[in-house]
Structure 1
Amino acid sequence: MGAEGRPVKLFHLFWVRHVGETVGIINPASIVAGEALKVYLLRNYAIEKQVVITSVLLSRVLMMATHLLSLLLITILSFAVIPALHFSFKVTGIALCVAGAIVLFIYLLILFLKQLRKTRLGNWLAVRTQKLRAKVAEANSALGTFYHTNKKDLLMACGFFMLHWALGSLELYIILHLLGTGAGFIPAMFVDMSVIVFKSAGAFIPAQIGVEEYGNKLMLAAIGLTATETWVTASLLRRARQLFWIVLGLVAYFFIDGKQTITSYKNGNPVCES
């Protein structure tokens, strides 16, 4: 949020982000609902709404980009640098086919939307979504400006996001280590990064129930861990951790939002105080 965001305490930002991510997990609208809530929870700061929206969107874009970069790097390390991992190429091939199918679906959807614009229905939708498209164009322009004026901060943010993914994979590595599987950190991170792709594909399912478990089973088999007790135990432990943070996030929401009260109006806009 640039210089305007400096008054926002890091501790408060942590809880805003966590609550937003919690809603994104349990809500069928996924990241749309989560990002909207983040903007809502930052409403009482003296920051322009467009700046807040741009920052939240930029955070999500960086998160997705660094995930793809991390997945690419860890895949190269897994297959090229450390051949002793002995991947199950059959299962890995299935996983890659699933990922390819997702990419193909997105590509075909984009082509369909482009063709839809030329139809009468497309023209009707264009008129109905004119304001929304204007907001998206405004946010896109703001993102470009943000990039040119805050390159150093963006680079630092990318570094922290890469660290975020690595530390997230550390959880799975510890679980596999405690189960005595002998899997190292590189294959554990490969599994974790790949499972996130499955979770993204099933984002419309609350908490990605079933999707994450299937991803765990498939990707653990890809690195040679086919025992049922391995993926079941890993899934249960990760779900337990997730449930704890979801409950904590829901409780935190009422504390954060309860401190923000609308006291007056200025130029037709609500003015909030903590």
Structure 2
Amino acid sequence: MGGKLVNRNWVKPLVLCIVISFIVIFLVNTDIDSTKQALRSVGFKFIYLLIITYIAYFFGTWSWHVCLGEERKKISIFQLFSIRQIGETVGQFNPTSVVGGDILKANLLQPYQIDKAKALSSVAASRITAVLSQILLFLIACLFLVFNNKHLAWVSSWGFGFAALIFLLLLIQVLFIIWISKTHSLERQQNSADASFIRKLKNRIQNLIIDIRIFYKNDRKMFWYSYFLAAIHWIIGSLEFYLILIFLGFDISILDGLLLDMSVIVFKSFGAFVPGQLGIEELGNKLMLTLVGISSATVWITVSILRRARQIVWIGIGFMLYFFYQKGCSACREVNIRHKNAR
């Protein structure tokens, strides 16, 4: 037993070292001089990009907050914002990607006396509403690409493929909603002490799916509320692409920005196992910019650098929020100890 406890004590420092290592690799592979030059090209307007992403992250946090149900009374949206940002930072630079980040989010809720099962189910539910709303917006962006005359010549030979993709995405979304709304339920699985890693992972996924179905059946209004807020999160986040290209002198529409952002996010998901999606995001930017008729290498590099610069700023904010979170947790523990001693 003592050996197990010792091993567990090494888990958090090990994960932290892995995350920091990948962030260092990310920073080393970032051309600081080019970043400065790109920042000078937009000047103080870079602040607008940070404001846009903050608003997007806030709506993403709000979408998660409503999934907590009655437990949300124990934590404010701004406190949850800090936890979400910490989890997203770790998820981005963790080999397990969003899985590790989402589990961390649930663990960071424990000092607020939020039930662990509810914390895990809320994270899963908010992730599902985010993915479903993202698929819908990607579908809208694809429709825009197919029917917009400006891009029609490029996609005319791929019309059938795009139509098939659009139909598939729509079908997946409809079938999933129908599936989670079914009345029958599965039995929650308990992990035995000698269960294998694969068995534990399978049981955890099954239990999370059950929690999502329970959440949907018990409070459909909150499910769709979270879905709506997640959609706003994606729409506002896509304005980053739109603003960068406007700053660089291109006349594009907001739907163009939505198409670019949603497509790059989908592209990045295939390389989620790559910490920070180094190279994956840049390739996605290149392909999507070409898709909307912007083939300039200079523009592609500038767009990629500005998006990475924004990312670096939020990495720093994530670390600062973790520092304040730790201080806040220490204060909470001291208050709890005093309260117990007073009894």
TM-score category (smaller protein): 0.7 to 0.9
Query: What is the aligned partner in structure 1 of residue 304 from structure 2?
Result: 235
Aligned pair 1:196/2:265, yes or no? Answer: yes
Task: Pick closer, same or farther for the CA change 1:87–1:9 going to 2, 3 Å.
Answer: farther
Superposed CA deviations along residues 87-122 of structure 1, whole A, max 9, x for unmatched, are 6339989x97xx9xxx9xxxxxxxxxxxxxxxxxxx
Greater per-residue helix proportion: 2
Aligned pair 1:88/2:157, yes or no? Answer: no
Query: What is the aligned partner in structure 1 of residue 208 from structure 2?
Result: 139
Query: What is the aligned partner in structure 2 of residue 118 from structure 1?
Result: none
Query: What is the aligned partner in structure 1 of residue 78 from structure 2?
Result: 11
User: Are the equivalent residues in 2 in contact too, given 1:191–1:219 (CA < 8 A)?
Assistant: yes
Aligned pair 1:173/2:242, yes or no? Answer: yes
Letter matched to residue 47 of structure 1: I
User: Are the equivalent residues in 1 in contact too, given 2:111–2:329 (CA < 8 A)?
Assistant: yes
Aligned pair 1:44/2:114, yes or no? Answer: no
Structure 2 CA distance, aligned partners of 1:150 and 1:221? Answer: 43
Superposed CA deviations along residues 237-259 of structure 1, whole A, max 9, x for unmatched, are 11101100011101211210232
User: Are the equivalent residues in 2 in contact too, given 1:20–1:37 (CA < 8 A)?
Assistant: yes
Aligned pair 1:214/2:280, yes or no? Answer: no
Unaligned runs of 5+ in 2: 1-67, 170-193
Aligned pair 1:30/2:97, yes or no? Answer: yes
Structure 2 CA distance, aligned partners of 1:231 and 1:87? Answer: 22
Query: What is the aligned partner in structure 2 of residue 163 from structure 1?
Result: 232
User: Are the equivalent residues in 2 in contact too, given 1:41–1:257 (CA < 8 A)?
Assistant: no
Q: Which secondary structure state, in structure 1, belongs to the residue aligned with residue 110 of structure 2?
A: coil
Structure 2 CA distance, aligned partners of 1:251 and 1:84? Answer: 44
Structure 2 CA distance, aligned partners of 1:238 and 1:130? Answer: 39
Superposed CA deviations along residues 214-271 of structure 1, whole A, max 9, x for unmatched, are 1000110011100111111111111101100011101211210232245699xxxxx9
When the two structures are aligned, how many residues end up with a matched partner? 239
Structure 2 CA distance, aligned partners of 1:31 and 1:87? Answer: 37
Q: Which secondary structure state, in structure 2, belongs to the residue aligned with residue 47 of structure 1?
A: coil
Query: What is the aligned partner in structure 2 of residue 109 from structure 1?
Result: none
Letter matched to residue 249 of structure 1: G
Q: Superposition pairs for residues 56-67 of structure 1, below 5 Å? A: 56-67=123-134
Task: Pick closer, same or farther for the CA change 1:29–1:135 going to 2, 3 Å.
Answer: closer
Structure 1 CA distance, aligned partners of 2:271 and 2:145? Answer: 25
Task: Pick closer, same or farther for the CA change 1:233–1:217 going to 2, 3 Å.
Answer: same
Deviation at 1:199, TM superposition (A): 1.0
Letter matched to residue 176 of structure 1: L
Structure 1 CA distance, aligned partners of 2:75 and 2:126? Answer: 16
Unaligned runs of 5+ in 1: 104-124, 266-270
| Percentage of pairs with the same residue | 36
Superposed CA deviations along residues 134-172 of structure 1, whole A, max 9, x for unmatched, are 333332222211111111111111111111111111111
Task: Pick closer, same or farther for the CA change 1:252–1:130 going to 2, 3 Å.
Answer: same
Query: What is the aligned partner in structure 1 of residue 187 from structure 2?
Result: none
Q: Which secondary structure state, in structure 1, belongs to the residue aligned with residue 74 of structure 2?
A: coil
Greater per-residue strand proportion: 1
RMSD: 2.8
Aligned pair 1:79/2:149, yes or no? Answer: no
Structure 1 CA distance, aligned partners of 2:221 and 2:276? Answer: 35
TM norm structure 2: 0.64
Structure 1 CA distance, aligned partners of 2:157 and 2:244? Answer: 22
Aligned pair 1:256/2:322, yes or no? Answer: no
Deviation at 1:180, TM superposition (A): 1.4
Q: Which secondary structure state, in structure 2, belongs to the residue aligned with residue 257 of structure 1?
A: helix
Task: Pick closer, same or farther for the CA change 1:208–1:132 going to 2, 3 Å.
Answer: closer
Structure 2 CA distance, aligned partners of 1:219 and 1:164? Answer: 21
Structure 2 CA distance, aligned partners of 1:170 and 1:147? Answer: 30
User: Are the equivalent residues in 2 in contact too, given 1:39–1:56 (CA < 8 A)?
Assistant: yes
Deviation at 1:62, TM superposition (A): 1.3
